[in-house]
Amino acid sequence: MSEFILFMHNDATDAIGDWEAYLDRLRASGRFQGGSAIETGMCVRKDDRRLPITDHLIGYLRVEASDIEDAKTFLQGNPHYESGGTIEIRALPRSD
């Protein structure tokens, strides 16, 4: 199994849904590795140059999956996805 991160963008029209039931289903799969909403922050550089944060990311989920298509199956029932929001799926490479 590999790990994937699913980033939720801030473009859902109405992401009201049953998050508790969705997260319970992820936990029951045994492949849910956590997640959280993402709030404001800052970009930091050693040279003190100010850069804007990536403001379109509002949350993430980490899951274990055999490949990206398998990771995509975790979108079904996700309130953000179901309300038309974008979810960006990225592989997390192993650093053995």
pLDDT at 22: 95
Q: How many domains does the chain have?
A: 1
Tokens of 67: 């490949």
Looking at residue 45, which CATH number applies to its domain? 3.30.70.1060
The boundaries of the domain holding residue 81 are: 2-92
pLDDT at 95: 76
66-83 pLDDT, tens digit each: 999 999 999 999 999 999
**pTM of the full structure:** 0.86
Residues of the chain with pLDDT under 50: none
pLDDT at 55: 86
pLDDT at 96: 66
The neighbour count for residue 54, using CB atoms within 10 Å, is 11
Q: Are 63 and 33 in contact (CB under 8 A)?
A: yes
Q: Are 33 and 60 in contact (CB under 8 A)?
A: no
